[in-house]
Amino acid sequence: MGRVARLPLPPTVLDAAVRGYCRVLDVHLDEASVPGEGFGTFGRFFARSLKPGLRVVDRNPGALASPCDGLVRTTGSLKTGGTPGFEVKGRSYSVVELTGRRGWWSEIDAGGYAVIYLSPADYHRVHSPSDGSVVGAWHLDGTCLPVNRLGQLLAPWSVVTNERIVFDIDGPLGRVVLVMVGALGVRAIEVTLPGLRFEGEGPRGGVPIERGQEIAVFNLGSTVVVLWEGQMDPGVEPGQRIRFGQSLAARRPCESNDVGHGIR
């Protein structure tokens, strides 16, 4: 599927394919930033950028912004103590399984999470939920099972077994982990944050990033998992659609300056 998506196509063929795709899946093509020379391949259409100004990033100092467009599958508090965990559709999973290692998430007293599903119709670029620095980034090889509704019925464990890229972000709100989970047909999650390189266990030093700044792009369907330390009130509910930049969760006012300094 990836090879086919990268094949250059005649403009008339690609235009017909894109318009048919948009019509069947209700894609809002008017939101896309179309290159002057056109998309050229179906893959470039799928990984399209948005026109400037279409999304407003929540700048509340105590808020995490949604990193992407999609459907909120679940939110909740991380299970802490012993092996940290989270739930998707009533099933429990280990954060260590998800991230492939132990880290700050194994040492905290409180934390939360959100799981967002990106359908084939969604905008597929992913952005940082917070200001700060990317202090770790690593790739985990794995399966490429479907993550859509049928996939969740047949292989619900795919969130912790599919190919994944993990970004560990340190900022004013404390530590945040963003996990991009590949899916059926996805073998190319492209990192786009300037200066970020995978060197052994991750980048050497921190790579500065701003809330809402693009970090990577999926080339086909996918899921994003966001984990955070400390108490936050989710700004969304399971089953709700969310857009990149909207508030995903917010620190309670009395705690906004008290998190992120105890685990270093």
Active site residues: 69, 127, 222
Q: Are 260 and 229 in contact (CB under 8 A)?
A: yes
Which token pair is 128?
């940082």
For residue 131, what are the CA distances in angstroms to 67, 150, 153, 200?
Answer: 12, 35, 36, 24
Bridge partners of residue 132, in order along the sequence: 209
Q: Are 167 and 137 in contact (CB under 8 A)?
A: yes
Q: Are 193 and 223 in contact (CB under 8 A)?
A: no
Helix/strand/coil for 214? strand
Number of H-type helices and E-type strands within the chain: 6, 18
Q: What burial class does residue 216 get, using C-beta atoms within 10 Å of its C-beta: 0-12 exposed, 13-18 middle, 19+ buried?
A: buried
Q: Is the dihedral of CA 212, 246, 96, 174 positive or negative?
A: positive
Q: How far apart are CA 157 and CA 151, in angstroms?
A: 9
